Structure 1
Amino acid sequence: MNNNQMPAGDILGASLPHISGNFGNIFHTDNYDHYRSAVEETLDLVGTFLHRNDKPFSGIEAKEMKGMVQQIDLNQKLSSYQELLEEVDTIYVKHATAFHLPQYVAHLNCPIVIPALAGEILVSAINSSQDTYDQSAGGTFMERKLIDWTAEQIGYGTDSDGVFTAGGSQSNLMGLVMMRDCFSQKRYNHNIKLDGLPAEAGRFRIFVSDKSHFSNLKNASIMGLGEKCIVKVPTDERFCMDITLLKKYMKREEQLGNIPIGIVATAGTTDFGNVDPLEDIANIAEHHNIWMHVDAAYGCALLLSEKYRHLLNGIERADSVTIDYHKSFFQPISSSAFIVKNKRELRILKHHADYLNPAEMDEEEIPAQINKSIIQSTRRFDALKLWFTLRMMGKDQLAEYTDTVIDLTKDVASMIAENPHFELLSDTDLSVLVFRYIRSDVGDLNALNQYIKMKLFYSGEVLVASTKVDGNFYLKFTFLNPITTTEDVHQILNKIKAHGEDFGTAN
């Protein structure tokens, strides 16, 4: 030790001064006991939420809920965490939807795994930002390794890359931006990032199925192409993109003077859980030399399953893929990713700022995830939750959960199809069933099923979703909970039947 060095203990003592003044709420060494106490009290409320709920929803009406929240004076602080948690329990926790219960079979909300919740504690407390290496050193490489792992599951090679995002809609936006900009660069040598949309952009056309996610329309609008650029291709009897009609629609648009720039395939539609014919779509995209994006926000769970992985055959030929870990990997919101087959294409998204990622920075030496993010600068280390999950559970257990859910759905489909009181509209590749309750003495089946859904919702006993197909109202089961059993679903169907029998007499 030279004369200018201090013992380690002295260095640590000098670098951790005690906090004075009214700063006891700052996350800091001196305030760890405060932090721990606050977390433990909040954890008790989490336990209350779990043990108190025997149905997925309280049934509270929006008017009452709004009134309870509106009467809170945010300018008046509370005196203790106990008082705060009692308030939050009253206006939030008591009425929060319990996605973990088997009676919740509505939307694409999965129950979450405990390792991910443990990771969430570190994510929130340490509060790393994933935009540059100096804000998240280990996190940068952990996220990159998870992106590489996901790309490997897709079937991509070592030239792939990607980034975690806030959700499937953002990932789909990235897919469409890459589709548009790469096409413009290659076809017209026009750089949209620098020069804006080319004159031909008004004739750009993107082909999707008419059962694809609504984010395609929103994203097209955001990109300045307008919703008119989205061409909805009708689906077949299983509500998958009709390949014959895709070819026909592409030819028609070309004859009209329009310009196909890409195709969006859906691997797991929101309403039906079915996968578009990926191999056929890949063949067409390659023939036309245009971008293929796969929205696998829901169907990404199949990547882990040996039993059902074949349903995604062809996804490895796509130029980009949307992944939602918070739908099908049992992760807390948010945890999603955009994966691209050729990492060189991501250069289109790169912008330099002297205070973050200056142009002279060697990205191989000092990587910056912000170079791959389209709209997020500050970005949570959501990848850590998936890291916790894979390291504690492994890929195989996640796959087992997915297989269990799909197997359950097949059993329930048979159950509904064989029951004369129900009409099943379609089978599913994943875990969504669209059906309705029928009564021969009721002419308006739409009104009947709307009545059933509202009765279930405001009783809070069961939450189901709904959709419209060809103008008709249907109920919808979405199964993402591996704990749910056929007996649970049998009881749900009995509740639906009971409300269906009350229709007419109760009005």
Structure 2
Amino acid sequence: MTPLTEVSPVPSRFPPSLLAASREGLAEVSAALAEAVDTASHARRPAGPIPAGTPSDVLAAAAEALGPAQLPAEGLGTKAALQLLTTVLVEHGIDLSHPRAAAHLQPPSLAVAVAADALANAGNASLDTYDSSASALAVERWLIAVLIRLAGLGERADGVLTPGGSLSNLLGLLLARDAAALRRGVNAREAGVAALPGPVVFCSELAHFSVHRACAALGLGEAAVRPLPVDEHRRLRPAALSAALAALGPDRTPLAVIATAGTTDFGSVDPLPEIAEIAAGHGIWLHVDAAYGFGALFSPRLAGRLAGLELADSVTLDLHKLGWQPAATSVLLVSDTTAFAALDRQVAYLNPTDDAEAGYDGLLGRSLQTTRRADAVKAAATLLAHGRAGLGRMVDACHDLARHAERRILAEPELELVSPAELTTVVFRYRGTGRPDSADDLNGALRRRLLESGSALIGRTDARTAGPGSPTRVCLKFTLLNPTATTEDIDGLVDTVLETGRTCARLTEESAA
């Protein structure tokens, strides 16, 4: 056998720049991004926020640009691969930085967040264990501490990042379920939903659909959700909640009350102090879905709308909405760190007890995930770079745009304002001249025509236009999350909607004739 000292070293066949975390790799990333930016400057960017054409045409063009759907025998190389994908994404994708991109709670990403995300991706940390992340753990704990203070949750509070608001709501309801089981003296992790006969979750009729999905995923069933009516301001009625709780029979287990701080369509905030008082009086977990509205806390003008948030047992917040982060950057905050106890796991190859006692531990016990990327890095970079005041100015700028859109809609006889600018959304309708149901068809056609032309990207929803109890109608929606847009841009967007509405109305009349 040849002695080890006599074995000649074999040089690697791969350069150090192959791996992003190396010094050479980081330089390669920087150079590759610079080349991609140069490619983007030469690509044929659509004139509007979305490529013109039908979905089948646009997707077919993108697929053709990518080439045959087969793994190449030999790679194209870094430069060619990035040039190809940059061209596809720019020429056939949406541009959220365009001032007429106003469809969803999907903001343009901040430059500092994208740069920090690239840095985090190069390190490829995972937050489950210390030896998978090290410093990334400190970044997430710093971010959670900052958000806890912003929410006013207190010294025992804790939190964790998740892959989106739907998953934050799921985790919040899981913790609520386990807290309800503990009140009954059982371990829900071991006994399952059988420990909770007749589970009930209360929320407003405008709560996010992820509440229903979460109940289904937890084995409670979607029928466990009890939607309650809202008032004329589209906020959950505390009296309705009190009445529903009083009507529960002994065969029912109230698990949680879900309050919404920023409904998706209207930005309305449920009366948190009143709801918190009712929930506390019945010993029920209060979860606040502030996925949209939490960003209002950055703004001195709007922060007061979230008064009572500090009374919640758990809070969902999405920094990929009013935080301008690349998706997804969601967080679940809890008022008491012991709420995470049911998630705790000891796994021999991840966090054995003696390692954990010596400090070599991670965040496995706060999440439903094992591998979990360092999303906190991009958010921490944003908070450090812009601070509360800088982010507050961005929130106020978007709120100002929404209020301008509201005034402009009110001034147009052809448009009907359905919901004012609570945060950064405005819901409205193109009136038309026929029956309400024909106006529904007209509004749907109007939005599709805008999409096909590529001239504007606006939202659509169903809403009651004549108060509680009235029928829902097809409505249009501006979701304004671009702080660099101007009031002139909003005027142009409204003008485009009006022009397109007139065209659709004329075509409808001609086809009817």
* Residue aligning to 1:108: 105
What is the alpha-carbon distance in structure 2 between the residues aligned to residue 74 and residue 89 of structure 1? 19
2:192 alignment partner AA: G
* Residue aligning to 1:229: 224
Deviation at 1:52, TM superposition (A): 3.4
What is the alpha-carbon distance in structure 2 between the residues aligned to residue 35 and residue 484 of structure 1? 31
Per-residue deviation, residues 215-254 of structure 1 (Å, max 9, x unmatched): 00111000000001111111111211111212222223x1
User: Is 1:193 the equivalent of 2:189?
Assistant: yes
Deviation at 1:303, TM superposition (A): 1.5
* Secondary structure, aligned partner of 2:226: strand
Conserved 8 A contact 1:159-1:342: yes
2:246 to 245, 251, 254: 251
What is the alpha-carbon distance in structure 1 between the residues aligned to residue 458 and residue 256 of structure 2? 35
* Secondary structure, aligned partner of 1:425: strand
1:274 to 239, 256, 268: 268
1:398 to 391, 394, 419: 391
Conserved 8 A contact 1:41-1:81: no
Conserved 8 A contact 1:167-1:336: yes
What is the alpha-carbon distance in structure 2 between the residues aligned to residue 65 and residue 153 of structure 1? 43
The farther-off stretch of 57-66 and 261-270 is: 57-66
2:475 alignment partner AA: Y
Per-residue deviation, residues 177-217 of structure 1 (Å, max 9, x unmatched): 0100111112x11111123223434x010001111111001
* Residue aligning to 1:289: 283
What is the alpha-carbon distance in structure 2 between the residues aligned to residue 120 and residue 22 of structure 1? 24
What is the alpha-carbon distance in structure 2 between the residues aligned to residue 43 and residue 485 of structure 1? 26
* Residue aligning to 2:4: none
| Structure 1: runs of 5 or more not aligned | 1-15
Per-residue deviation, residues 400-437 of structure 1 (Å, max 9, x unmatched): 11112112212221221232111111224211111001
Per-residue deviation, residues 298-336 of structure 1 (Å, max 9, x unmatched): 001111121111100000000010111111111111211
* Secondary structure, aligned partner of 1:323: strand
Q: How does 1:209-228 map to 2 (within 5 A)?
A: 209-228=204-223
* Secondary structure, aligned partner of 1:162: strand
Q: How many residues get paired?
A: 487
Aligned residues: CA RMSD? 2.3
Deviation at 1:478, TM superposition (A): 0.6
Conserved 8 A contact 1:331-1:386: yes
1:344 alignment partner AA: T
Counterparts in 2 of 1:383 and 1:255: CA distance versus 1, 3 Å:
same
User: Is 1:484 the equivalent of 2:485?
Assistant: yes
Conserved 8 A contact 1:60-1:95: no
* Secondary structure, aligned partner of 2:321: helix
* Residue aligning to 2:380: 387
* Residue aligning to 1:164: 161
* Residue aligning to 2:402: 409
Conserved 8 A contact 1:165-1:171: yes
What is the alpha-carbon distance in structure 2 between the residues aligned to residue 73 and residue 290 of structure 1? 53
Per-residue deviation, residues 109-167 of structure 1 (Å, max 9, x unmatched): 11221211220121111111111111211111111011011000000112111111111
The farther-off stretch of 480-489 and 259-268 is: 480-489
What is the alpha-carbon distance in structure 2 between the residues aligned to residue 302 and residue 396 of structure 1? 12
Q: How does 1:71-470 map to 2 (within 5 A)?
A: 72-76=68-72, 77-89=74-86, 91-186=88-183, 188-201=184-197, 203-252=198-247, 254-255=248-249, 257-362=251-356, 365-374=359-368, 376-440=369-433, 444-469=438-463, 470=471
Counterparts in 2 of 1:447 and 1:364: CA distance versus 1, 3 Å:
farther
* Residue aligning to 1:39: 33
* Residue aligning to 1:5: none
Deviation at 1:442, TM superposition (A): 6.2
Question: What percent identity do the matched residue pairs reach?
Answer: 32
What is the alpha-carbon distance in structure 2 between the residues aligned to residue 102 and residue 79 of structure 1? 35
